Structure 1
Amino acid sequence: MDEFANSARGAYVLAAHPNWRESRVNRLLLQRARGVAGVKVQDLYARYPDYDIDVAAEQANTGAAQLLVLLHPVQWYSMPALLKLWLDEVLSYGWAYGRAGTALHGKDLWLVATTGGPEASYHPQGYNRYFFDAFLPPYEQTAALCGMRFLPPLVLHAAHRASHEEVEAHAEVFRDRLATYPDWPEIAELGACPITDVPATDRPAPPAHD
């Protein structure tokens, strides 16, 4: 049975971790997400170990949800490779963005991430040189191009050094957010989803078939 077929509040969680055996925080968040009603979870590395993504199935899952959640560790200031491939292939022109690409209009995108470095390292005087928000524009613009709202991210810094109590508290916030979506106080303060248009002339021509 589809977890959110009859729910206007349904969430689709894309969990992307290249090595779950080494994960503590993301693995717990994945487990908590699976226990929330109205939430469908996709473990990308388990589902697509060969990186051969079922685009039609993923578009169906994404289109059926109101909230798309990107759950992953930050790797080289970005997302794991399989999640990037998912975005490249699933959020296609004419479906997710561009003229007639309205499948995601009015939906929400939520980033839930962990970092290895402490929050203090994301500072002009830290070894990451920038505040963490400086690495968010690709996520924000992906949402904007698809007509989605980008919700305030949930981030746990220095995840591998977090205490058991800190990890449990973080997981509880995550679970509560999923369970209460879209009734978050800050959502009322966000503007409407942007509507953009990318002309077909700005996209590569489809390959010719003999």
Structure 2
Amino acid sequence: MVTVWRGRGRSLGHWTSGFQCHHAGLFQCSITGLVFSMEEEAEVLYNTVPWDRGLLSQNGKRPAGPLFKFTCLMGSVCQLHLPHCEINSEGGCDFLSVAHVTDDDSMEFLLPHETTETHVILNITGFCKYGITKEQEAPVSPIRALVLLFYQLPDDNNKSTLNVLLLPRNVDIDEVSRSELSNPSLVGIQSNSQC
């Protein structure tokens, strides 16, 4: 049994998630879709951080999902499963790699141990920042996504707007919804349509 919790972090108001497991095994975060293969009892903290797009571009890469920062307070993690939204049958997974960003902001690109229909699996020996990347020149391919609708209330001219947001499956829907709904004139419409 894993207890996943979420709280607002100190830096830039980003959300921090974490869990504590009491034995070895595979554990999936219900919020982010991340999967951890634990070798023993452990406590892990993680949150999303901004990509350095300039550094990615210099290496011929672009983001293919969020960049996660990890801290393992105790115990050890031997494998990390990062969620992706590419549709494997369309060849979208062929161009995926994982960026490993260290504390000194250097970046190396790792080939996955395995790529499944939903996750990129990486063998790891330590934590820092990890995120899925794609070749800059990779062809555009279909992805799994959600359709989010936000209704903007009428303004002084009685004009209203319906905002349609296509959200890749590997982006945290709660974080986006909170960000969008922080605007008091927006109302979220229940419609998490898979596409």
Task: Give the TM-score range, shorter chain.
Answer: under 0.3
Greater helix share, structure number: 1
In the superposition, the TM-score normalised over structure 2's length comes to 0.24
Q: Which has the higher contact order (CA 8 A, sep 6+)?
A: 1
TM-score by length of 1: 0.23
